[in-house]
Structure 1
């Protein structure tokens, strides 16, 4: 393994460079930096990603991020980053309200683009981005959405099993994505809780992932949804240094939460299979709990992100006396992405999904093929999210039962 990685590193030194420029350097920026910094040291790539520049508005903070994560330069205006001659790909890790402007400008400037999910804050913005990507595609550029959970090897392998017919005709898809970081009502009003910046709450932040995963695994799209959403804590303290908001008792400055805390919805896939979804940031004790199960006529698959190297598989065609769910440890060399990593049984983690994402995007650029998920795929997810919000608005009025 060490010799293979050394040979790959030697070939990388001789490969042409692909300059990466990243806008945003916080949580997602750090994760993407890890992917770009690692990918050429693990996989044998046709081009060599080079961390050319990172961009953020705070000069000291972005310079510190550049030093920490290995970026050659720092910018404070994304327009300057897009204009750089040493940047061929723009990686967007900013809040959703800036995705459309940056992505369209980068595509029109001749750059490839990677944009974090959800693609945009509105369907109209996502449509404009998809149209810009289509025009750029004709010029040989590519654009991809960062749904990194597709790149968990167990998820990629599950997709392969389903496509091969191991579950037969699908009947049920159920997915839940639960977090707890908003349980405390004293948690401050960050940008993720403001519609103007985030577009939506748990629905866009977490729901985008599970909508994409459900459609990716099933190999088909949702054609209808019925939904409920709720905001449990409707006002929160303003962060230190924020502009004044609503005055609460005692003089504490507070502002309105303008996004959902949780969403639950049902859906129907094109084949007629039924899907159920739950997403919340108010599930006490759940840190990043993404769980799914898919049932078909020939068997079932389940997955838990907290055990991300494993699938649970039931083969309905086996005799009842020996049938039951069994564990598949997805660490073999012929499992997706594992040919470049460690010996069987040596587990991977969350950060590896960004390395795999970078590899797939680089391969698409070098081969001139459409990456997946494309901006068109991101637009379709955006339309589902908008349909969920529309359905929730229609279902919002209820009459409490009084005793």
Structure 2
């Protein structure tokens, strides 16, 4: 067997997403037959001590604190961007200009303008065989990929309703400390961009339709939180309470949406849903069928087939998506042995490397991610106009 050409990767970011992507780059070639052999060449972070330690732990050959080094090196083929959103555009634009393939975490940028610049650059780069993809990892959930297959096959008929909610509770404690995700200048938005973007992308990808208009409201329940430095001090609770900083993003968002094919959508994203750890849910109702999914039961898909001839037996069917016939599953464990969150990132690497090997456009493209960015902007604009909402008038009885 001929030796595969290495695909040398530089990953920018050492935290949560950096770890998830690192494991994916290590694991993908061990379970899937890829056209090129990924090599974990360079990890880039801010702190020398932290980055060196993470590189050793996560299996990277070298480390650096300068992402420009990664872009400039001739022996780097891929730049994987796992930084806060405020730096996505600068890094991606430089990487594409240097002829590097780019995998960028979602949302693509913090503004439509930056996302447009990135998309234009990706289009130009693609003409030179340089590819770019945005990391909407939930697309790689086998159950959702199966749902997409059902919809493309026409099993649901025309789509009428999309119901999507993404519920987390990690910010329910008002003394949870400030982080970059609560700073609009770094994150762009809060629950909307962090998790709502996933729901928007999933809904558009599954239905094959675009969101054309929205009506939204956004809310911040906790407007100030402890700064990390103060919270780590020796002064006790009084110091934590005294040294608080502003939260400049939304804690929760809700909006209705119209789709290009005529479907109606209802969306909710919150990091304040007490008791819900990662309930990423979507239900789609069509003329002849429905699907329903909840990531807290990620190996299951609910499917209703309304085309049957036995009304007495109609009902939602629970499909355990662990058989070899299901998307991605054949490369993993025996039937019934479920997959986990980390497998989504492995599948993402598989699809990206496969596209690089074939020279074909990967999905979601920067253009598809730009479309999500435009919906995010429309939601924020609608919520900003909420003062013009009609008040419910009530008279005393």
Give the TM-score category using the shorter length.
Answer: over 0.9
1:160 is matched with 149
Is residue 201 of structure 1 aligned with residue 194 of structure 2? no
1:116 is matched with 105
Query: 1:118-197, aligned counterparts within 5 Å?
Result: 118-197=107-186
1:157 Cα shift? Answer: 0.8
1:238 Cα shift? Answer: 1.1
2:316 is matched with 325
- Cα contact 2:230–2:243 (8 A) shared by 1: no
Query: 1:255-266, aligned counterparts within 5 Å?
Result: 255-266=245-256
- Cα contact 1:234–1:256 (8 A) shared by 2: yes
1:273 is matched with 263
Q: How high is the TM-score relative to the length of structure 1?
A: 0.93
Is residue 375 of structure 1 aligned with residue 366 of structure 2? yes
Is residue 305 of structure 1 aligned with residue 282 of structure 2? no
Unaligned runs of 5+ in 2: 232-237
1:400 Cα shift? Answer: 9.2
Instruction: Say which of 312, 322, 345 aligns to 1:354.
Output: 345
Mark the CA change 1:396 to 1:25 in structure 2 (over 3 Å): closer, same or farther: farther
- Distance (whole Å) between structure 1 residues aligned to residue 263 and residue 209 of structure 2: 10
- Cα contact 1:228–1:396 (8 A) shared by 2: no
Deviation by residue 1:25-51 (Cα, 9 ceiling, x = unmatched): 100000000110000000001100000
1:222 is matched with 211
1:254 Cα shift? Answer: 1.4
Deviation by residue 1:97-136 (Cα, 9 ceiling, x = unmatched): 0000000000001100000000000001101110111111
- Distance (whole Å) between structure 2 residues aligned to residue 271 and residue 400 of structure 1: 31
Mark the CA change 1:294 to 1:111 in structure 2 (over 3 Å): closer, same or farther: same
Unaligned runs of 5+ in 1: 1-10, 243-248
- Distance (whole Å) between structure 1 residues aligned to residue 319 and residue 262 of structure 2: 28
1:397 Cα shift? Answer: 5.6
Q: Which moved more, 1:208-217 or 1:329-338?
A: 329-338
Q: Which moved more, 1:250-259 or 1:90-99?
A: 250-259
Q: How high is the TM-score relative to the length of structure 2?
A: 0.95
Instruction: Say which of 271, 276, 290 aligns to 1:286.
Output: 276
- Distance (whole Å) between structure 1 residues aligned to residue 387 and residue 216 of structure 2: 9
- Cα contact 1:171–1:272 (8 A) shared by 2: yes
Deviation by residue 1:308-332 (Cα, 9 ceiling, x = unmatched): 1110111112221111111111111
Deviation by residue 1:355-375 (Cα, 9 ceiling, x = unmatched): 000000001111111100000
- Distance (whole Å) between structure 2 residues aligned to residue 308 and residue 366 of structure 1: 29
- Distance (whole Å) between structure 2 residues aligned to residue 357 and residue 380 of structure 1: 20
